[in-house]
């Protein structure tokens, strides 16, 4: 995908997540099965995931190269990134402490959605300022996967938010059965 397509996919996928959350009742938004995150907590987790990506995307290229090096391989495809992430989850990988949300009340929903929309708009802007080469050579750290090119990190972020829609749907469907 080209840069313009990446930034649009980031906006579109997060909007799907927001639209889904907007459709939930108070009970659905706050429902959390034993040991699982509620939809509100999933929302907070997505915000906690996008914020540090914005920090990395706006850093000067020289700083990123100094901190994380340069890619020594081509960027993985979208499907390869998802497969890598899934294998880490299958090995028992979980969100690290800084990405674990606190309890979220329904009354916080609108403010959290506004926060996510703001972060996603910033991310789209940062993506659009990049060139194709830097997307495939600059590295960012992923807490579970390790160093990834910027393009791979955007692929991950595109997928990650959609995966959380499915998690919420599955939890709410199992509640009904």
With a cut of 80, say whether residue 27 has pLDDT above it.
Answer: yes
Contacts of 88 (CB under 8 A, 6+ apart): 144, 145
The structural domains of the chain, ordered by start, are 3-30+37-176 (1.20.120.450)
What's the pLDDT at 26? 97
Mean pLDDT in residue range 24-43 = 94
With a cut of 70, say whether residue 145 has pLDDT above it.
Answer: yes
State the alpha helices, DSSP H only, in the chain: 3-22, 26-30, 39-58, 61-68, 78-90, 109-128, 132-137, 150-176
What's the pLDDT at 175? 78
What's the pLDDT at 176? 62
DSSP 78: H
Mean pLDDT in residue range 10-18 = 98
Collapsing DSSP states into helix, strand and coil, what is residue 33? Answer: coil
Angle, helix 150-176 to helix 78-90, in steps of 10 degrees: 60
Mean pLDDT in residue range 156-175 = 94
Collapsing DSSP states into helix, strand and coil, what is residue 138? Answer: strand
Query: Tell me: the pLDDT tens digits for 94-129?
Result: 988 999 999 999 999 999 999 999 999 999 999 999
Residue 137's pLDDT band, with cuts at 50, 70 and 90, is: very high
With a cut of 70, say whether residue 5 has pLDDT above it.
Answer: yes
Residue 133's pLDDT band, with cuts at 50, 70 and 90, is: very high
Mean pLDDT in residue range 7-24 = 98
The model's pTM is 0.95
With a cut of 60, say whether residue 177 has pLDDT above it.
Answer: no
What's the pLDDT at 115? 98
DSSP 98: G
């Amino acid at each position: 995908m080209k840069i313009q397509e990446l930034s649009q996919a980031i906006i579109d996928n997060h909007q799907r997540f927001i639209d889904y959350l907007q459709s939930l009742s108070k009970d659905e938004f706050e429902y959390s099965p034993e040991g699982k995150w509620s939809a509100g907590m999933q929302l907070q987790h997505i915000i906690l995931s996008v914020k540090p990506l914005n920090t990395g995307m706006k850093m000067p290229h020289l700083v990123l190269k100094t901190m994380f090096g340069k890619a020594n391989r081509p960027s993985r495809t979208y499907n390869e990134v998802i497969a890598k992430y899934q294998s880490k989850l299958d090995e028992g990988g979980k969100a690290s402490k800084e990405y674990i949300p606190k309890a979220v009340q329904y009354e916080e929903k609108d403010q959290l959605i506004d926060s996510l929309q703001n972060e996603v708009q910033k991310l789209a802007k940062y993506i659009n300022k990049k060139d194709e080469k830097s997307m495939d050579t600059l590295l960012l750290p992923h807490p579970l996967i390790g160093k990834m090119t910027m393009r791979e990190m955007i692929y991950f972020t595109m997928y990650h938010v959609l995966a959380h829609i499915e998690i919420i749907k599955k939890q709410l469907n199992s509640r009904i059965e």
